[in-house]
Amino acid sequence: MRGKQVIIAALSSLLVLGTSSTINAKTKKTDNRQTVVNVALKAANEDALTNYVYDTVDPTSANYHHYLTPSEFAQKFGQSAAYVAAFKQYLAKYHVKAAAYPGNLSLKVQGTKTNVNNAFKATYVKKKGQRSKTTYKLPGKLSKQIVAVIGVYASKDSRKQSAKKKTTKKSVSNSMLTSTDLPSSGIKPNTDVTGNAFSKKYGALKFADHYQLSNLYNKGLSGQGQRIGIIAHSDFHIGNIKTFWQQSGINTDTSRIHRIYPISNRQEMPAIANRGITNATMETTLDVQSASSVAPKADVDVYIGQTNNGATNAPSMHYATFMTAISDNVDKQISTSFSPSVEDNSIWPDKSSSLKQYNHAFNLMLEQAAAQGITVFRASGDYGRSERLNGKENHVLSTSPYQVIVGGTTLPYTKIKNDKVIQVTQERAWGDTYSLSSRKRKEGVFPGSGGGFSALNPTPRYQLGVPGVNTFRAIELLKYLGNNRYAVNKHPKVITGTGNSRNIPDVAGNADSETGYATYISGDMVRLNKKHHLILTPAKIWMVNGGTSYTSPQMAAANAVMNSGRETPIGFWNPQIYKFAQQVDTPFNVLDNANDNNNLYYTGQPGKLYNQATGLGTINFDKLYTKFNSEKD
């Protein structure tokens, strides 16, 4: 997740070398780069779909755990085969291919950018004082069933654009991991320690022991028979996974790791992966290391949404990658720490769909996942209530209610840092204004768990009436200075109030780099010489890091461990866990303290079950497993 304090410097850093999304007027006649566009479709009956999703995890319903296959979903909730055929026939006239994702809730459209733009009659529109957008036009019988067209982009026919291409080389270095991105704390794991001892201090057993997942290991559950899906924006080196496993005492058979490429073909991806260590490469690597070690007998399917030519934008890649994983229907738990943007219209990168339309499409897609018995996990973000550092609340896209949004905590620790003793006496919400060096404080970027209120999604039915939901207590620890920088308020004010939307996160787990996890990565580090030429230096790096990027794949892996002891998948967590949280024998440890327990803004709410810093709290997986199993099949 953007916010790996150190390494992950961009939310969806996509490595595109030597390409540009703008087109020189001289070459505007044709653009033969292959692009992927997604046409998200309406459900046949959206209200019925939502009710069915809730019914699958309601023990009193006849549809309890009656999960659908993609073909069954298509028959019940998808668009008709006739409609799909008509759409494909129309696009074929323009030499554009289309295929329905299994489930008939979306079409994957592929062709050259020129042909795709012609098929959609794409037009560049720019009104004074507003950002440009691309309008499209389709036959009425086709357009009536569309929720969003994602990824169509028509450029302005102007020679001024040729100047923009000069900026391309600068963007190369920004997407690469440079020497200045290394952990400023200098924390590295002790690699003289190996096996379980290493894992307990820096790896999977640290997570499993603290959150009682080890009790399930002792029952023989390790994820066997399960597959975990990872949604990524970059490829990775399998050797880095193997080295991490060796250090952690995990079986090094890499045949359980699988790559799927929904955007560019398999042959093109290794060349991109070999161009150096990028922010996105680092993210994918830690996602795979985290998930595969917490569930050491599960397979891991890494869906890599990455373009080799810059012709497919981030929203379209992210949607296509997610929809591929869901419609493949082989992973009953999926995690992502990537996102195409935040909930902020002013920077929304897709030109043919609005942020509201994209959110609607994403919700429908995740409802398909829930109807199929898939549990989806997403990292909440690493900068408190403002993932984009602009002084205003904004959150990682998507804040859909049909996924488990995972926040971060800090484990108890005592350290001497910067000539002062830092002591955290009990697990708390992750929001660090107290351990940073003076240099880091001057940089004005403070890490903390993503949490707050969605700008796009209403309060879901499972959150309604839960104590703490739609009320908040906050403390203005930071003041915004402008230019993506904050300073600590010497006299912070306490604020209380109410909200009225989807509350995030749902749950939380250790994500602070001060109490974090080890990661290993190797490849070429990048620096710029005095002439601004890229210099590549081979490197092998062990580090201890943090972020909700670790916690989300760990949660997905824990779900795989629980599923490995069940006959039917757990499915859609949220209605179940909010119910469990209100029971006497709750599996949650509520972090409700008002003091020294915040995500840089939102604090605990004393006596209430929920807060926007840590959600329902941390999980006792032994108890949660028992709770899930106590429900009637």
Checking if the pLDDT of 20 tops 80, the result is no
Residue 621's Cα: distance from chain center in Å?
Answer: 22
Higher pLDDT, residue 526 or 249: 249
Other CB atoms within 10 Å distance of the CB of residue 162: 14
Residue 629 Rama label (left phi>0; alpha psi -120 to 50; beta): alpha
- When mean pLDDT is compared across 185-199, 217-231, 592-606, the lowest value belongs to 185-199
Checking if the pLDDT of 294 tops 90, the result is yes
The dihedral through the CA atoms of 500, 506, 510, 512 has a sign that is negative
Q: What is the pLDDT of residue 26?
A: 44
Judge whether 12 lies within some domain: no
Q: Both 161 and 181 in a single domain?
A: no
**Residue of 46, 50, 75 whose CA lies nearest to 63:** 50
Q: What is the pLDDT of residue 167?
A: 40
Q: Both 185 and 160 in a single domain?
A: no
Judge whether 18 lies within some domain: no
The residue segments making up the domain with residue 52 are: 25-165
Section 116-128 average pLDDT: 96
- When mean pLDDT is compared across 238-252, 262-276, 435-449, 483-497, the lowest value belongs to 262-276
Checking if the pLDDT of 3 tops 80, the result is no
Q: What is the pLDDT of residue 225?
A: 98
Residue 591 Rama label (left phi>0; alpha psi -120 to 50; beta): beta
Find residue 342's DSSP bridge partners. 396
Q: What is the pLDDT of residues 134-186, one digit of tens each?
A: 999 999 999 999 999 999 999 886 434 444 444 433 333 334 433 333 333 46
Q: Both 287 and 160 in a single domain?
A: no
Judge whether 538 lies within some domain: yes
Other CB atoms within 10 Å distance of the CB of residue 48: 12
Q: What is the pLDDT of residue 169?
A: 38
Q: Both 129 and 180 in a single domain?
A: no
Confidence band for 414, pLDDT divided at 50, 70 and 90? very high
Q: What is the pLDDT of residue 1?
A: 59
Q: What is the pLDDT of residues 264-283, one digit of tens each?
A: 877 766 665 666 788 899 99
Helices 279-294 and 548-563: angle between axes, nearest 10 degrees = 30
Q: Both 65 and 140 in a single domain?
A: yes
Q: What is the pLDDT of residue 176?
A: 40
Could you give the CA distance from residue 399 to residue 408 in angstroms, rounded to a whole number?
16
The secondary structure element, H or E, covering residue 152 is none
Q: What is the pLDDT of residue 528?
A: 81
| 582 CB-near residues (< 8 Å, 6+ apart) | 466, 609
- For residues 353 and 150, the answer to whether their CB atoms sit within 8 Å is yes
Judge whether 273 lies within some domain: yes
Checking if the pLDDT of 585 tops 70, the result is yes
Could you give the CA distance from residue 430 to residue 598 in angstroms, rounded to a whole number?
7
Q: What is the pLDDT of residues 481-532, one digit of tens each?
A: 999 999 999 999 999 999 999 999 999 999 999 999 999 999 988 778 888 8
Checking if the pLDDT of 594 tops 70, the result is yes
Q: Both 417 and 449 in a single domain?
A: yes
Give the end of a domain, one of 149, 165, 181.
165
Section 430-438 average pLDDT: 95
Q: What is the pLDDT of residues 179-192, one digit of tens each?
A: 333 333 468 999 99
- For residues 452 and 393, the answer to whether their CB atoms sit within 8 Å is yes
Q: Both 454 and 335 in a single domain?
A: yes
Checking if the pLDDT of 21 tops 50, the result is no
Q: Both 308 and 415 in a single domain?
A: yes
Q: Both 112 and 177 in a single domain?
A: no
CATH at residue 557: 3.40.50.200
Q: What is the pLDDT of residue 544?
A: 96
Section 305-327 average pLDDT: 95
Token pair in block for residue 487: 């300073």
| Runs of H (alpha helix) within 413-540 | 438-443
According to DSSP, the β-strands at 471-475 and 494-498 are antiparallel
Q: Both 421 and 444 in a single domain?
A: yes
Backbone angles phi, psi at 377, to 5 degrees: -120, 140
% of the chain at pLDDT higher than 70: 89
Judge whether 16 lies within some domain: no
Give the end of a domain, one of 165, 197, 222.
165
Please tell me what DSSP assigns to residue 599. S
Section 546-574 average pLDDT: 98
- When mean pLDDT is compared across 249-263, 298-312, 404-418, 528-542, the lowest value belongs to 528-542
- When mean pLDDT is compared across 213-222, 433-442, 446-455, the lowest value belongs to 433-442
Q: What is the pLDDT of residue 535?
A: 85
Find residue 168's DSSP bridge partners. none
- For residues 50 and 188, the answer to whether their CB atoms sit within 8 Å is no
Section 464-479 average pLDDT: 99
Confidence band for 78, pLDDT divided at 50, 70 and 90? very high
Give the end of a domain, one of 142, 165, 188.
165
Judge whether 246 lies within some domain: yes
Judge whether 10 lies within some domain: no
Judge whether 8 lies within some domain: no
Q: Both 396 and 446 in a single domain?
A: yes
- When mean pLDDT is compared across 73-82, 273-282, 542-551, the lowest value belongs to 273-282
Find residue 244's DSSP bridge partners. none
Checking if the pLDDT of 349 tops 60, the result is yes
Strands, E assignment, 27-83: 34-41
Q: How many domains does the chain have?
A: 2
Q: Both 354 and 424 in a single domain?
A: yes
Checking if the pLDDT of 360 tops 70, the result is yes
Other CB atoms within 10 Å distance of the CB of residue 591: 22
Confidence band for 77, pLDDT divided at 50, 70 and 90? very high
Q: What is the pLDDT of residue 163?
A: 43
